[in-house]
Chains A and B, each alone.
Chain A
Amino acid sequence: MNIAHLVSARRNPKGWHWTDIAAYAYLLLGVVLMFGPVLWLVLSSFKTQASLLEFPPSLLPLSQKEVVVTGYPQPLPLFTVTMEDGTKRELAQVRRIGIQAQMIDPANPSQQFRVPIDKRTPVRQFSLATENYSEPLQRFAFPRFLANSVFVTVVATLITLLINSMAAYALSIYEFKGKNAAMLMVIGTLMIPITIILVPVYLVVTKLGLVNSLWAVILPGAATPTGVFLLRQYMLTLPRDLIEAARMDKASEWQIYWRIVMPLTLPALAVLTIFSIMWRWNEFLWPLAVLTKTESYTLQIGLNAFQGELQTQWQYLLAMTVMTLTPVALVFVFLQRFITTGIANTGMK
């Protein structure tokens, strides 16, 4: 039960209150504003270079229809022509001379027409310029960036899960000297974003000899205070008897952690996994600072570098952007409910 229902139920048991209509209107506007731009990007990424330059832009990826006519080696562009007598015909253009176009009927190539260019409009058809996608994969370092991003995301997430769950286990199951100090250290780091310690982290990474290595991206963010917190809060709810029983069975502390606590913590681990994947896949500032060689770029850095170079080649840039957002979009489609409840419950990002 909520306010809307209560109020509308009182005033008008079956009909619609104006606020309901306003709410739906707002939500529909929201759909257009939130999904629209992404959809527009995806549609645009399938347009040919020529149709990307069109203004005003067409909604769907359209391209001019071409026909193969016997006697002509190249396919010829097809136009709808308004003839002198007012009839309309579909003609193929052979060449254009000034304001006149030399055209032929594809069905009857021997007959030629001279048509003023303002009397013809291109015949357009729906077509997907998939070369926008295949060409960057062949010509640019895009696959390299993709591989780097995948490596960083997977390895960093595994390390994060392991070391954060170990710390969370120690902080939730045991009482030991220095526990409070350790907790305080973890809390302390919550409020320190990489942005304000950019330079010294860079120094540490340099000292470790990791500049331009993907490990320089993976390691600094591996221990996340949010991760430790999330897992610790979850582990605190596990029944102690289980751990005591395992100890009686002479299980080592590691076995208790790895074989009993970890499997039971799976729901929290799953949430942290999703977050870690999101963080790592989207990370920008730190990789930008520490990766300077093109072959070590991650997708985000590569994409940013491309947008400087490829201003005039939007067709590649758009396609690469779509490829970059696809994995998160897929994660979202499959795990949407999980992600949203995870965030609502933890308030973290």
Chain B
Amino acid sequence: MTLTSKTSPATSPAPAASLAPSGGTNPVLKLVTRVLDWPMAGLQRLIGERRMPYVFLLPNLVFFGLFVFVPIAINFVYSVTGGPALFPSERPYVGAGQYSYLFDCGSYVDPNTCREDHFWRGVYNTLFFSFFQVVAMVGLSLLTAVVLNMKIRGRGFFRAVYFFPVLLSPVVVALIWKWILQRDGLLNAAIMGLGGDRTLFLAEPGWAMFWVIFVSVWAHMGFYTLILLAGLQAIPTDIYEAAEMDATPRWRVFWRLTLPLLWPNLIVVIVLSLIRAVQTFDEVFVLTGGGPGTSTLMVVQYIYETAFSNQVQNFGLAAAASVVLGIVLFALTLAQLAFTQRKSS
């Protein structure tokens, strides 16, 4: 997942001797350049050239520290403390209490027997959603990428068509589909026009889950199609020419050549879409709100609601649940890193 730059950046080298302010004639940029040059040069004189990289690194690390590393540490503190207080120092230590509460189940297969039944419903819904979403996502984006890789007129246009929904915000995506799937919506009109019965798509648990998966695939498919398309285009053509000389059947070329060569990209797509599926929240939240009942409630929504929107904000429990989710995501990311390492070696 690195940028393999195709364009050479050195095509227009700025002559080093003339340090023209960047931005050319733009007066704002010129001013910024002038104002920044002087103190930064002074700083360099003060601390020396060798310490300058730390200056460049500092702002980024401050942000990372403040909004990623410190929060990770606090998250662990939260998950082992209880009570309603926001500040860790005011929270009583409960040890593994939050975790044991979360995992207090008569039988893990049945969420009804769990103290935190919503969490477990969220877990099962997320597992179900992730599995079918990834299967559909990989299958459809592979098919689309293969089709787009054929000698097709207007390939750029079709590529853009599939990619367009990727840019839409989850709220917009959910509202588009809510509009189509509502009681008097386009889909019901079409079904009734063909002689079928009106269905309340988002009010029946089975249908709601189907549409949540469908909408999610619709919205993100273009992204994975693009990764696979890049992979297909990187396959050297002489392999296909050799296959043609041997008069290999087409399906066999696909099965024996294309698929194995595309495998690294497929792994990336599978793991990336899995990581994203496990984190699913936005679209589902706007489309169904987790309903009907709890039939499309996802783990992230459980965390969000436990921490922010329930009557009693339970930060400890939410943090414990997010540690569990974090461990899952960490494992998935390690898997991806392992696979991509193998790809590059």
Contacts and interface: CB of A to CB of B under 8 A. Distances in A.
Interface of A: 1-7, 10, 19-20, 23-24, 26-27, 30-31, 33-35, 37-38, 40-41, 44, 53, 55-57, 162-164, 166-167, 169-171, 173-174, 176, 178-179, 182, 185-186, 189-193, 195-204, 206, 219-223, 228-230, 233-234, 237-239, 242-243, 245-246, 249, 251-255, 257-260, 262-265, 267-268, 278, 281-282, 284-285, 288-289, 300, 303-304, 307, 314, 317-318, 321, 324-325, 328-329, 331-332, 336-337, 339-340, 343-349
Interface string B17-55: 101111000000000010011001101100001101110
Contacts of B14: 242, 259-260, 263-264
Contact of A163 (B59, B178, B180, B303): B59
Nearest to B307: A199
Contact of A2 (B36, B193, B237): B237
Interface string B256-277: 0010000000001000100000
A125 to B, nearest CB: 21
B70 interface: yes
A325 B325 CA distance: 31
B56 A169 contact: yes
Contacts of A318: 175, 179
B245 to A, nearest CB: 10
A219 B164 contact: no
B11 to A, nearest CB: 9
A343 B268 CA distance: 13
B170 A349 contact: no
Given A176-B54, A267-B7, A199 B161 contact: no
Contacts of B5: 233-234, 237, 268, 345
12 contacts: A10-B244, A34-B161, A167-B59, A191-B333, A195-B322, A197-B75, A198-B307, A198-B308, A223-B68, A234-B9, A258-B22, A346-B2
B195 interface: no
Nearest to B177: A37
Contacts of B36: 254, 258
Given A23-B147, A200-B70, A260-B14, A195 B186 contact: no
Interface string B227-265: 101100000010011001001001001100010000000
A229 to B, nearest CB: 7
A237 B33 contact: no
Contacts of A57: 184-186, 189
Given A26-B144, A324-B171, 8 more contacts: A23-B147, A200-B72, A219-B66, A238-B9, A285-B281, A318-B175, A321-B176, A340-B159
Contacts of B226: 340, 343-344
A34 to B, nearest CB: 5
Nearest to A44: B179
Contacts of B158: 27, 30-31
- Most-contacted residue by chain A among B63, B74, B147, B186 (CB, 10 A): B63
B61 interface: yes
